[in-house]
Chains A and B, each alone.
Chain A
Amino acid sequence: MSNSEPVYSNYGIYEVNENLQLSIPNTEIKIDKIGENAFSYYRKDSDGKIIEKMIPVKSDEIKIELAPIPPLNHPARRTGHVFLKFDREIYLSENSAASIFVHCPIEIGIFLINGSKRESLDCVTCNSLNSRFGLYGPPDTGTLCKYAQVSLATGYDDSIPYIEGVLKIIIENTLSSGQTIDKVVFPITKNSFYYEDSKTIIDGIKITLKKRAVVNIVDVKTVAIETDWTVSPTWEATTVRTSVEMELE
């Protein structure tokens, strides 16, 4: 009896004529043709939660794309920020700079391809235990973030398939004293995600520790990376706000 490693589906575009089965860690996805112009979508995750959708289409086939997306949707979308707590502190002496790679949790988006547009169909997380919230700041005015404890990565090739991408952080300390950094909080909605096979890399961020008047501040900026990997579509919540035309009373 063989004890082979499970084979998972790579990121990318899939054409569905009759049926398609995708396998990613802890999750099973099935798309079946159920009529002349209709497909069914079925997803079961590790918690046993099942999502089923019907997709009416104009043609007799559909295309879907599997791609990494920011880790903001599980267990529910509440914020656009992430809080990455490093597994070890980084010390920067005065007027110095450093580049590090860190792992960053990801989610996986399933997009329906409609012409040149990508429509958000569903999203999953393969590591629900690392999909938690954290608060940066005081309870009344702080920023709610998706929180994860992350380890340093050796480079862009160190991505953990389907679970963590790699993010490059450039840290610059322009202060006149050494500084210790053990976490970073930033809006991840500005960062693009890129994939190749089952690996993910993410636009980097540049952190500058500087002095403004008498206050030490941290400036965080997104740094786009140049790569030939495929850029992921932007995930958009498909629940839209509609205004029903009626009296306000």
Chain B
Amino acid sequence: MPLELLQNLSEMQIVGELTVLSLLIGGIIMAGGVILAKIAKLLFHKYYAPTLPKDTAKNLSKLIYFGIIVISFLGFTSSQGIDLSGIMVAGGIFAVVIGFATQSVVSNLISGVFLIIEKPAKHGDTIELPDMGISGTLLDIGTFSSKIRKFDGTVIRIPNEKFFTSNIRSLTISTVRRADTVVGISYKDDIENAISVIKNEILVTMPFVLHVPEPEFRVEELGDSSVNIQVLVWHPRDDWSQAQPILLSTIKRALDKEGIEIPFPQRVIWGAKD
């Protein structure tokens, strides 16, 4: 009975040499290929992806999945006796037309490939795009666009072409980073003493500030109301929040303890003699 059914199906022609049976076999090959691709992707995610960097894992996962799909498709076409050479030529011409019509899409795709090859930043890096005024954590470099989670929690999508051609400032590539601020002291106070008390307070109360290189102090300006001192401290790259936001309050505390004045803006007005 099943043999008879198969016999009948092989005799039922749809178009030219294409029969219902060959279409059924092709369908089974495609379905098998899709199932196999999904299983391979699942196993890869389960056993290998956790040990790889996220970008690599994601790209490798796509390669495995679509690789199996493409191989299945080739199996399907060969089972149907389809000659692909004609499709290739037509596809080539079609690709040129599409290429002209969708330049920006192709540009984003190519930029994405270059970003993956060059790796100016990787998943999880904190980066800044000064041209666009964007800074945050790089979430993903995708096929056409990249995603950055800004510090306010929102996620911004940037087309790969723009991302690739813009300046990228990596905030996590160096071992250490520098935080800085400016503080003004009154003209009557001793600069050396002020620097000494600030330095001591920083080194004692800010455990993430590096002792080598030491905090640096520069008299930046003899301002209208104050002597402005620039304070620069180094900290481990991941501990920005333990340095920059508390630097100014630490300096103020040190100056308050020693009674060193942080002057308000002031003007000396001379009255003209009658």
Residues of A within 8 A of B (CB): 74-76, 78, 83, 85, 128-129, 131-137, 139-144, 147, 243, 245, 247-248
Contacts and interface: CB of A to CB of B under 8 A. Distances in A.
Interface of B: 45-46, 49-50, 54, 57-58, 61, 173-178, 203-204, 207-213, 234-236, 238-239, 242
A78 B204 contact: no
Contacts of B207: 74-75, 128, 131-132
Contacts, number: 65
B239 to A, nearest CB: 7
Given A133-B210, A135-B212, A248-B58, A243 B176 contact: no
A78 B234 contact: no
Nearest to B242: A75
Given A131-B207, A147-B211, A248-B49, 6 more contacts: A76-B208, A85-B212, A134-B210, A135-B175, A147-B210, A147-B212
A85 B211 CA distance: 11
Contact of B45 (A74, A83, A141, A247): A247
A240 to B, nearest CB: 12
Ranked nearest first, the 4 interchain pairs of A and B with the lowest CB-CB distance are A243-B50, A134-B212, A75-B207, A140-B174
A140 B175 contact: yes
Nearest to B45: A248
A139 B204 contact: no
B175 A142 contact: yes
B173 to A, nearest CB: 7
A131 B209 CA distance: 11
Given A83-B212, A140-B174, A142-B176, A135 B234 contact: yes
A128 B61 CA distance: 47
A165 to B, nearest CB: 20
A82 B28 CA distance: 63
A139 B170 CA distance: 13
A127 B203 CA distance: 14
B54 A248 contact: yes
B274 to A, nearest CB: 63
Contacts of B210: 132-135, 147
Contacts of A248: 45, 49, 54, 57-58, 61
Given A75-B207, A128-B207, A247-B45, A140 B213 contact: no
A144 B57 contact: no
A15 B262 CA distance: 57
Contacts of B46: 245
Contact of B234 (A74, A131, A139): A139
A137 B50 CA distance: 33
B35 to A, nearest CB: 17
B204 A129 contact: yes
Nearest to A246: B45
Contacts of A129: 204
23 contacts: A75-B207, A76-B208, A129-B204, A131-B207, A132-B209, A132-B211, A133-B209, A133-B210, A133-B211, A133-B235, A136-B212, A139-B177, A139-B234, A140-B174, A140-B175, A141-B175, A143-B175, A147-B210, A147-B211, A245-B45, A248-B54, A248-B57, A248-B61
A78 B236 contact: yes
A132 B173 CA distance: 22
A139 B239 contact: no
Contacts of B174: 139-140
Contacts of A131: 207
Nearest to A243: B50
B176 A139 contact: yes
A135 B176 contact: yes
Contacts of B45: 245, 247-248
Nearest to A74: B207
Contacts of A245: 45-46
B204 A144 contact: no
Contacts of A136: 212
Contacts of B49: 248
A75 B239 CA distance: 11
Contacts of B238: 78
Contacts of B176: 135, 139, 142, 144
Contacts of A133: 208-211, 235-236
Given A83-B212, A131-B207, A134-B210, A144 B50 contact: no
A139 B57 CA distance: 30
B118 to A, nearest CB: 18
A7 to B, nearest CB: 29
